[in-house]
Amino acid sequence: MELLTLSEATNWMVDNGISLQMLEILIMIPVIATLVSITRYLIGFKTFGIYPTIILGISYSFTGLRYGLAITMIVIFASLLTHKVLSKIRMHYITRIAVNYCLLVIFLSGALLLINKFGLGLENIENINPLAVVSIAALSDFFIKIYVKKSFKNTFRSLLETILIATIGWLIITRDVISEFLLNNIWLILLLIAINLSLGQFKGLRFIDNFRFKSVIKKKDDKPGQE
């Protein structure tokens, strides 16, 4: 990164106390947020919302995609399991969440131990940033909150959508060509604002609506039912 040729605006900011890494991550916030809004209103993604997607995307850039996805899977699996067990017990809401996190940490530690012993294609996992692991673990809360209200299928779909966008975020941060381009064109944030402003007025069908209402769109003018 040190070899980058920076635009004047970026150079000025770096000279005035914003580190390059800070700037890179800050830019990712509006980029991922806009990805969430575009996929929601044009395609029909649900996701877990903007915040968990941003956190996940940035965490992946610290852990690397392979480790990030592995930790995500462990977190989701552990959350589902503890949720199943705890739903049988009468207890206050916050205590339930707290126990969920206790069990989650036990699970994560166990998984890390297993990886250390058997490798499982995830060697050197001990070197990754603990804060990033914590951030991914926080996904548990979002997952369970939606899981309680919606079906497993719906929740799982939202999870996949969240991971997909986070992965795109990871891709943007880790591909130097893209992140360099973003760093040198900070004005792009204004473009993101413009995109969101116009998307905010969008009234057309979401891509997914075409599947939802397929039978209405393709409807032949026949008479319903029997005579």
Partner 1 sequence: MTNQDKSKKQDEILGLNRRNQEYVRPYNPPSAKSLADDKIRTKKVLTKNGINTPEVYKIIRSKQQLNHLDWDSLPKSFVIKPNKGTGGNGILVFYGKRKGLYEWIRPNGKYMNQKDILLHLENILEGRYSMGDRKDVAIIEERIQNDPLLKKYSYKGVPDIRIIVFNRVPVMAMLRLPTKRSDGKANLHAGAICTGIDVGTGITTYSMMGNYKSPLSDTYDLIDTTLDLKENLPLSGVQIPNWDDILEIAVKCQESSRLGYVGVDIALDAEKGPMVFELNARPGLGIQVANQAGLRWRLERVRGLKVKSLKHGIRLAKELFGGEVEESIEAISGRQVVSIVEKIKVYHKDWSPEKEKRKKDKLYEIQNAFMDTGFKTSRIDKGLLNRIGYDKSNTFFDNKDVPSSFETFSDAQTYIDENEKEFTEDENILRLAKIFEDGKIRVRPVFDVNIKISKEIKNIEMLASTRKEMTYPIVIGRKDSKGYLIDTTKTF
Helix (H, G, I), strand (E, B) or coil at 209: helix
In the complex with partner 1, the residue whose CB is nearer, 84 or 223, is 223
Encoded tokens for 158: 């939202």
In the range 150-179, which residues lie near partner 1 by CB under 8 A? 151, 153-154, 157
- Residue written as tokens 């880790």? 174
Does the footprint of partner 1 cover residue 215 (CB under 8 A)? yes
Does the footprint of partner 1 cover residue 222 (CB under 8 A)? yes
Does the footprint of partner 1 cover residue 218 (CB under 8 A)? yes
Nearest to 13, CA basis, from 182, 175, 186, 172: 186
Q: How far apart are CA 171 and CA 179, in angstroms?
A: 9
The DSSP code for 46 is -
In the range 19-78, which residues lie near partner 1 by CB under 8 A? 41, 44
Among 177, 190, 197, 216, contact with partner 1 (rule: CB under 8 A): 216
Does the footprint of partner 1 cover residue 95 (CB under 8 A)? no
In the complex with partner 1, the residue whose CB is nearer, 117 or 223, is 223
Does the footprint of partner 1 cover residue 224 (CB under 8 A)? yes
In the complex with partner 1, the residue whose CB is nearer, 20 or 199, is 199
> In sequence order, what DSSP letters do the residues of 158-221 get, joined into one string?
HHHHHHHHHHHHHHHHH-HHHHHHHHH-TTHHHHHHHHHHHHTT--S--TTHHHHTHHHHT---
Give the footprint of partner 1 on this chain (CB under 8 A).
41, 44, 90, 92-93, 145, 148-149, 151, 153-154, 157, 201-206, 208-220, 222-227
